[in-house]
Amino acid sequence: MDAVRPRLELFSGEQVEAIVADALAVLATVGVEVENEPARLLLREAGIAARGFRFVPDENAVRAALATAPARVVVYDRDGRPTLDLGGDRVHFDPGSAALWILDPASSRRRPPVTTDLVHLAWVTEACGNIAGQSTALVPSDVPEAMGDRFRLYVALLNSTKPVVTGTFATDAFAVMHAMLAAVRGGAAALAARPLAIFDCCPTPPLKWSDLTCQALLDCARTGVPAELVSMPLGGATAPVTLREMIVQHCAESLSGVLLHQLAAPGAPIIWGGSPAAFDMRHGTTPMGAIETMMVDAGNAQVGRSLGLPTHAYPGMSDAKVVDWQNGMESGIGAVLAALAGINLVAGPGMMDFESCQSLEKLVLDDQACGMALRLARGVGHDSAGEAVDLLRQVVALGGFLGHRHTRDHFRAEQFLPSKVIDRGTFEQWEAAGGRSSFEAAREEVRTIVARGNPAPVADDLRAELTALISAETRRLGIVGLPPV
């Protein structure tokens, strides 16, 4: 008998169906506003009813789109190895996206990130064994704002082999970003066959698709680049405050995304993602570490899985401003709940201060939380009935298990073996090693990783090709002086 996968399910099957039914009713009555003309055209051609720019698709149209959306999306690393196998209840982590700040490890205060930080982020991500994907998780302040989105992808591709979770900030960014990805694969068709990146596409709550994100959705569909729907109902601000209704709204917005996307290209890869948050009623902020935020993440994933789609969410982040108890508590709970909920792609590691600040130190610490969460998801093996009897019979004579072959054969698979940033030594060992906090240990770890240099350099000709693409984009936008990478 195989391991039973430990699971968090917030709803019964019937309750999930009732949520989907409510969402379908929302779409059929309230509908979604679509601000993008090519998307409106697609919807009209498909005969979707509309009042002005508000489209009110019926259940049949939505179900048809769900039927063509693939249940499994595989994303490959730079070398073409399958790395993110999204679907079922398989769990993968990637760093939280697009931070405005980086935590300065010396002062423990945030500062604007620069290109070097982005480079180091890629190196550290490459070194994190429990984090399968990378993401363009910092917006460098030394790059002209208009270039920020596409330049991040350029840096990511040069400094890590891991598949990239990214997105556009403006409609004209997709072309060059797609061109860079295709260059790595040796062509657009090869890229479609083995995707290298996922693009986030966020509907505007409540129930609206802005021109930018709608365009990104269509661009993804037509090029076969996996699109990640990031619906973000904020409970009590842009969505009802009650958790079930937030999940209904998330479902309605996401279903409208699936519809648009599948109309543009039936069968194109799409992910049921989201970044909902319980709105903080004292500060007007969007706490990602709130337990309600994580409950909605788990609920959304259960709904998405029931509809046969790969899922994504953002648990594993913290709202703390330094790497302290709140930070570890919120990030750890998030990673564990995400693993239990079977969310396929979990973005969050490294991110704090809502979604505003990345910390490389937090990233290497979170890597450990992710490792423990992944271990939990594997559950307890059950294919060895009777073995304990034999083992104990032998060991009563032997006197212990440390010298037993069984221990040696199994401990690496059975235990999650933490890195040096997790302290499990004795008090004396800890004191002798300098009496460090986990943050200080992480600082050391990051320094070591950075000192090793680029762990994933690309071949010279590919590097030249990518550089030519980004340089042409710079000229097109009339920008001078990009920082060296």
Partner 1 sequence: MTERQELFAALSRAVLDGDDAAAPRLAAQALDGGVSALDAVEKALVPAIREAGRLFEEGEYFLPELVTAAQAMKAAMAVLQQALGAEAAALALGRVVIGTVEGDIHDIGKTLVGTLLSAAGFAVSDEGASVSVARFVARARELDADLVCASALLTTTMPKQRELVEAVRAAGLRAKVMVGGAPVSPRWAASIGADGHADNALAAVTVARSLVGRDAPS
Binding mask 108-147 for ligand B12 (x = CB under 6 A): -------------------------------x--------
Identity of the residue, 54 or 90, whose beta carbon is nearer to partner 1 in the bound complex: 54
Closest separation between CB of residue 232 and partner 1, Å? 11
148 near partner 1 (CB under 8 A): yes
What is the C-alpha to C-alpha distance for residues 409 and 65, in angstroms, rounded to an integer?
48
Q: Could you please report the per-residue DSSP string of 304-358?
A: HHHTT--BEE--S----SSSSHHHHHHHHHHHHHHHHHT-SEEE-TTEETTTTEE
Amino acid (one-letter) located at 411:
F
Assess 98 for contact with ligand B12 (CB under 6 A): yes
Q: Using CB under 6 A, which of 33, 117, 126, 200 touches ligand B12?
A: 200
User: Is residue 170 within the footprint of partner 1 (CB under 8 A)?
Assistant: yes
> Of these partners, ligand B12, partner 1, none, which one is at the site of residue 167 (CB under 5 to 8 Å by kind)?
ligand B12
Longest distance between any two alpha carbons in the chain, whole Å: 82
Separation CA 149–CA 340 (nearest Å): 33
The CA–CA distances, whole Å, from 18 to 9, 13, 22, 248, 298 equal: 15, 9, 6, 9, 17
Task: Report the alpha-carbon distance of residue 39 to residue 170 in Å, rounded.
Answer: 17
Nearer to partner 1, 238 or 302 (CB): 238
Q: Is 117 exposed, middle or buried (0-12, 13-18, 19+ CB in 10 A)?
A: buried
C-alpha distances in Å from residue 138, one per residue of 31, 123, 165, 404, 478: 35, 13, 12, 48, 23
Q: Which residue of 18, 49, 237, 479 would you call a contact of partner 1, by CB under 8 A?
A: 237
Is the separation of the CB atoms in 130 and 417 below 8 Å?
no
Is the Cβ of residue 19 or residue 139 nearer to partner 1 in the bound state?
Answer: 139
Closest by Cα among 455, 366, 469, 360 to 160: 455
Token code pair at residue 75? 């994303």
DSSP 435: -
| x/- map, 274-293, ligand B12, by CB under 6 A | ----------xxx-------
Give which of ligand B12, partner 1, none residue 399 binds (C-beta under 5 to 8 Å, depending on kind).
Answer: none
Query: What's the one-letter identity of residue 323?
Result: V
Contact flag: residue 317 with ligand B12 (CB under 6 A): no
Q: Which does 146 bind (CB under 5 to 8 A by kind): partner 1, ligand B12, none?
A: partner 1
CB neighbours of 396 closer than 8 A, spacing ≥ 6? none
Stretch that binds ligand B12, among 44-52, 117-125, 164-172, 240-248 (CB under 6 A): 164-172
Q: Which stretch binds ligand B12 (CB under 6 A): 26-34, 156-164, 203-211, 469-477?
A: 203-211
Does residue 357 touch ligand B12 according to CB under 6 A?
A: no
Q: How far is the CB of 284 from partner 1 (least distance, A)?
A: 6
Burial class of residue 47, CB neighbours in 10 A (0-12, 13-18, 19+) = exposed
Partners of 138 in the beta sheet?
A: 99
Count the Cβ atoms, other than its own, within 10 Å of residue 76: 17
Q: 169, 308, 454, 467: which one contacts partner 1 (CB under 8 A)?
A: 169
Q: Among residues 53, 169, 401, 416, which is the contact residue for ligand B12, using CB under 6 A?
A: 169
Which residue lies nearer to partner 1 by CB, 37 or 145?
145
Choice from 202, 255, 307, 482 touching ligand B12 (CB under 6 A): 202
Q: Is 122 helix (H, G, I), strand (E, B) or coil?
A: helix
Q: Which lies closer to partner 1 via its Cβ, residue 22 or residue 172?
A: 172
In this structure, are residues 136 and 169 in contact, taking their beta carbons and an 8 Å threshold?
Answer: no
Q: Of 71, 189, 193, 281, which one interacts with partner 1 (CB under 8 A)?
A: 281
Q: Judged by CB under 6 A, does residue 342 bind ligand B12? A: no
Between 201 and 309, name the residue whose CB sits nearer to ligand B12.
201
Identify which of residues 136 and 262 has a Cβ nearer to ligand B12 in the complex. 136
Judged by the rule CB under 6 A, the positions of this chain that interact with ligand B12 are: 97-100, 139, 167-169, 200-202, 204-205, 210, 212-213, 232, 234, 238, 284-286, 354-356
Judged by the rule CB under 8 A, the positions of this chain that interact with partner 1 are: 100, 139, 141, 145-146, 148-149, 169-170, 204, 210, 212, 234, 236-238, 279, 281-284, 356
